[in-house]
Amino acid sequence: MKRVAILGSTGSIGKTTLDIIKQHKKEFVLEALTANNNIAALKKQIAEFKPGKVAVVDEEAGGRLRSEANIKRGIYSGTEGLCRIASDEEVDVVVLAISGSAALGPLLAAINAGKTIALANKEALVMAGEIIMRRLKNSKARIIPVDSEQSAIFQCLEGREHAELRRVYLTASGGPLYNVPLSEFSSLSREEILAHPRWRMGRKITVDSATLMNKGLEVIEARWLFDIDVSAIGVLIHRQAIIHSMVEFLDGIVLAQLGVTDMALPIQYALSYPRRLPNKKYNLNFLKVGQLSFEKADTEKFPCLGFAYQAAKDSGSAPAAMNAANEEAVKAFLDKRISFVFIPKVIEKIMSKHKAARNPDLKAILETDRWAREEARRLIGKCSHF
């Protein structure tokens, strides 16, 4: 039995992970859950799954939960609460399903504690990939990717030597705006952007999918997870979302991982790794799929993808600045303070102002994150009429 903690259990990935645990009671036992402040959802999960421990970041919400819920061993709050659960000695697998840069602290705590980490969050690796991978090397911990593209590459690479790898191809469904002309972007409502045609996800990643920043974050994530130069990472628009990514080896042979479009598959694989567990719900019907198509990504229409490549090439603190500017811009868009077209403008401005530090330590990364957020907020404040 693997003892599992889900950080970010009230979100899209968190809920799907709980479904998988429910389907495989002989394989997994739920040890701990965490949320930011949604205690209504957390209370329902506590009643159903009876975890030993929970953590809520928001101190006030944590206080309310203490008086309302019956937890066997502990209710923690604050970021320290998350780190405590990420490093808990009664936990074997930490599912990191928190959105945004808030995942960085708990990820480092899980690495320090030598955990198996099922990593869904991408922002932490984008911010501090070099530091994370260095700490991982010096620890017993390991990361099993949950993101469908990274899981695909991970599966294609299994049992191969790193030196045999020539190139990886990340596939992208194209997001909700693929067929929308650029001239119409400025009039798009929040609701239209949030209606993703293929995936049901949290709000931040759905906006990132619309700008293609999500693919850009994945380029940087792949760079670190698979130790591959960014020039060897390609992006292909693949509308059917059946091939989740591909790996090309030195001899020109390409392996692809295919499957139905559902995050339950890579999440289950990350939990059960290295084994595969039965899942009767998913059968890929090739005759229904019909054709598989591939196109070049349009970085003029979707400049955020180009920003991510640039940040990856600049390296050092550049990806942290880009990530922070993106988080602030997406938040402002979701709060209806800026229009959709202003998101890339904010990121571009912050990236051009940022002087990337070489080999930044954690303190420098956090300082870059703080600086970029402050600059982005200032810019957003000035441009609230957009």
Q: In what order do the strands lie in the sheet with 53-56?
A: 74-77, 53-56, 28-35, 2-7, 93-96, 116-119, 142-145
The pairs formed by 33-36 with CB atoms below 8 angstroms and a separation of 24 or more are 33/5, 33/6, 33/9, 34/5, 34/6, 34/7, 34/8, 34/9, 34/81, 34/82, 34/85, 34/98, 35/8, 35/9, 35/10, 36/8, 36/10, 36/98, 36/102
Does 308 sit near ligand NAP (CB under 6 A)?
no
Nearest-approach distance from CB 173 to ligand NAP, in angstroms = 12
Span near ligand NAP by CB under 6 A; candidates 2-10, 20-28, 186-194, 304-312: 2-10
**CB nearer ligand NAP, residue 119 or residue 351:** 119
Q: Which of 132, 100, 128 is nearest to 117 (CA)?
A: 132
State the residue number with the nearest CB to ligand NAP: 11
Nearest-approach distance from CB 149 to ligand NAP, in angstroms = 8
DSSP per-residue string spanning 63-118: HHHHHH---SSEEEEHHHHHHHHHT-TT-SEEEE---SGGGHHHHHHHHHTT-EEE
**CB nearer ligand NAP, residue 11 or residue 216:** 11
Grouping H, G, I as helix, E, B as strand and the rest as coil, residue 356 is coil
Site for ligand NAP in 102-131 (CB under 6 A): 102, 120-123
Nearest-approach distance from CB 62 to ligand NAP, in angstroms = 11
Please state, in angstroms and rounded to a whole number, the distance separating the CA atoms of residues 289 and 281: 17
Site for ligand NAP in 173-232 (CB under 6 A): 199, 201-205
Q: Give residues with Cβ within 8 angstroms of 355, minimum separation 6.
A: none
Does 98 sit near ligand NAP (CB under 6 A)?
yes
Does 35 sit near ligand NAP (CB under 6 A)?
yes
Asked if residue 279 lies in contact with residue 294, where contact means CB atoms within 8 angstroms, the answer is no
Interface size with ligand NAP, residues (CB under 6 A)? 29
Nearest-approach distance from CB 102 to ligand NAP, in angstroms = 3
* Binds ligand NAP (CB under 6 A): choice among 23, 38, 139, 240: 38
**CB nearer ligand NAP, residue 99 or residue 272:** 99
**CB nearer ligand NAP, residue 21 or residue 120:** 120
The torsion angles phi and psi of 308, rounded to 5 degrees, stand at: -65, -40
* Binds ligand NAP (CB under 6 A): choice among 18, 75, 97, 107: 97
**CB nearer ligand NAP, residue 11 or residue 175:** 11
Span near ligand NAP by CB under 6 A; candidates 9-17, 87-95, 284-292, 323-331: 9-17
**CB nearer ligand NAP, residue 133 or residue 383:** 133
Does 8 sit near ligand NAP (CB under 6 A)?
yes
Span near ligand NAP by CB under 6 A; candidates 8-16, 108-116, 231-239, 274-282: 8-16
DSSP per-residue string spanning 228-272: --GGGEEEEE-TT--EEEEEEETTS-EEEEE--S-THHHHHHHHH
Does 147 sit near ligand NAP (CB under 6 A)?
yes
Asked if residue 5 lies in contact with residue 32, where contact means CB atoms within 8 angstroms, the answer is yes
Please state, in angstroms and rounded to a whole number, the distance separating the CA atoms of residues 200 and 179: 19
Q: What track of x and - describes contact with ligand NAP for positions 262 through 301 (by CB under 6 A)?
A: -x--------------------------------------
**Residues engaged in binding ligand NAP (CB under 6 A):** 8-14, 35-38, 57, 97-100, 102, 120-123, 147, 199, 201-205, 263
